Chain A
Amino acid sequence: MRVWDLPTRAFHWALVSMSLFAWGSAELGELAWHRRAGLAILGLLVFRLYWGFAGSSTARFHHFIRGPRAVIVYARRLHLRNPAYHIGHNPLSGLGAVALLALLALQVALGLFAVDVDGLESGPLSHWVSFDVGRLAAETHEIVFGALAMLVTLHVSAIAFYAFYKRDNLLEAMLRGDRCVPETRTPAHLAPHWRVLPGLLLAGAAIWLIATVLGSA
């Protein structure tokens, strides 16, 4: 049964590769590439925000943002070895997805305004803020990176936990889109392909706005 539509999977893996690229380029001091990676992630996040309202049912925020009760109920049953067969996010992973997306959005926003200690390298919107504010943004960028790294570790560990403890292959679902679930489950409502286009336009417009109109990159 189809769980994740193609745009959601493409977003996920593009985000993974761009995040790794952003990390690597920062570590190597290749800040021009780091800025490009950051803008690409910004575009991806804009698309995902749009897809959270216009995408297939499993990609929509109202589908996977659940109240605390649902999260607690699910968390209490987490140790059970039988898979719960959620079509899409379970209440706990929905929470994790929101946390990851929010933290990434914060990270991109901070990067836009960040300035290095020498005033040599800076984010594309840094000329809108003072040196001190830019430095604060850069220092917070560093802290948020640590938080993101922890959250990603938790995410990957959770996938491994489901694979080895619950015998539930979530990785394959995110790669191929399909998952074996009992036929009694209501299938995901898939969005038509054309609906990707407005999201791509929005993402492109956001990148263009920051890179050329507001920015100095």
Chain B
Amino acid sequence: MILCLRSLALAATALACQPGGGADPGASADPDRMLASGMTARQVIEARALHFKDLGGSFKAVRDQLATASPNPSLVRLATQEVKYASDDLPGWFPAGTGPETGVEMRAFAEVWSDSEGFAEISTRFRESAAALHATAQDDDLDAARSQVRAVGEACKDCHDRYRAEED
């Protein structure tokens, strides 16, 4: 139930901040400037961090279930759905004007925006692999899910290596 509500919230925010969102990149670095989505850059950045934290939790839920000898199929379906929804929304978490130029503390590199093609490509890989993962879960094919979870993990890691700073 909690998971479902979280998906709704994720979907709602994704609608609120579509990529680009009409904001003019680099027009102002003021983090409290209102973006076209009706949120300030600071709010978007904070929401983004929360989205990623939720995604981390959902991905842990998938991995925890698949690590057990007899995973609960409905939990796997639910958790892979969470990851899938997040992967659909992810490009919307990075509207123009919410990068490091705002001065807000973040681990995202400016390359997310300057290399938008590369970022789009890698987030597509995440979206497709997450959709495939959810499909295996819907088929209750746990072996396929176990191998697909690795593909999703690879996509996550590749993106982090390219577009995210190391932790302090």
> Which residues of A pack against B, CB within 8 Å?
115-120, 122, 126-127, 130-132, 134, 216
Contact = CB atoms under 8 A, between A and B. Distances in A.
B167 interface: yes
B157 interface: yes
Given A117-B53, A117-B167, A122 B68 contact: no
Contact of A216 (B59, B67, B153, B157): B67
A118 B59 contact: yes
A119 B68 contact: no
Given A120-B153, A216-B68, A131 B60 contact: yes
Contacts of A130: 57
Given A132-B57, A216-B64, 11 more contacts: A117-B53, A118-B156, A119-B56, A119-B58, A120-B157, A122-B60, A122-B63, A127-B67, A131-B56, A216-B67, A216-B68
Interface string B153-168: 1001100100000010
A13 to B, nearest CB: 31
A146 to B, nearest CB: 13
How many chain B residues sit at the interface, stated as a range, is: 10 to 19
B75 to A, nearest CB: 12
Interface of B: 52-53, 55-61, 63-64, 67-68, 153, 156-157, 160, 167
Contacts of A120: 56, 59, 153, 156-157
21 contacts: A115-B60, A117-B53, A118-B52, A118-B59, A118-B160, A119-B55, A119-B56, A119-B57, A119-B61, A120-B59, A120-B153, A127-B63, A127-B64, A127-B67, A127-B68, A130-B57, A131-B57, A131-B60, A131-B61, A134-B60, A216-B64
Contacts of B156: 118, 120
A36 B58 CA distance: 25
Nearest to B69: A216
Contacts, number: 45
Nearest to A128: B64
Contacts of B157: 120
A78 B61 CA distance: 54
A130 B57 CA distance: 8
A206 to B, nearest CB: 20
A126 B57 CA distance: 12
Contact of A119 (B60, B67, B167): B60
A30 to B, nearest CB: 13
Contacts of A116: 56
A22 to B, nearest CB: 18
Nearest to B157: A120
A131 B61 CA distance: 8
Contacts of B153: 120
A115 B53 CA distance: 12
A136 B57 CA distance: 13
B67 A118 contact: no
Contacts of B53: 117, 131
Nearest to B152: A120
A168 B67 CA distance: 52
A213 to B, nearest CB: 10
Contacts of B67: 127, 216
Nearest to B149: A120
A143 to B, nearest CB: 13
A119 B63 contact: yes
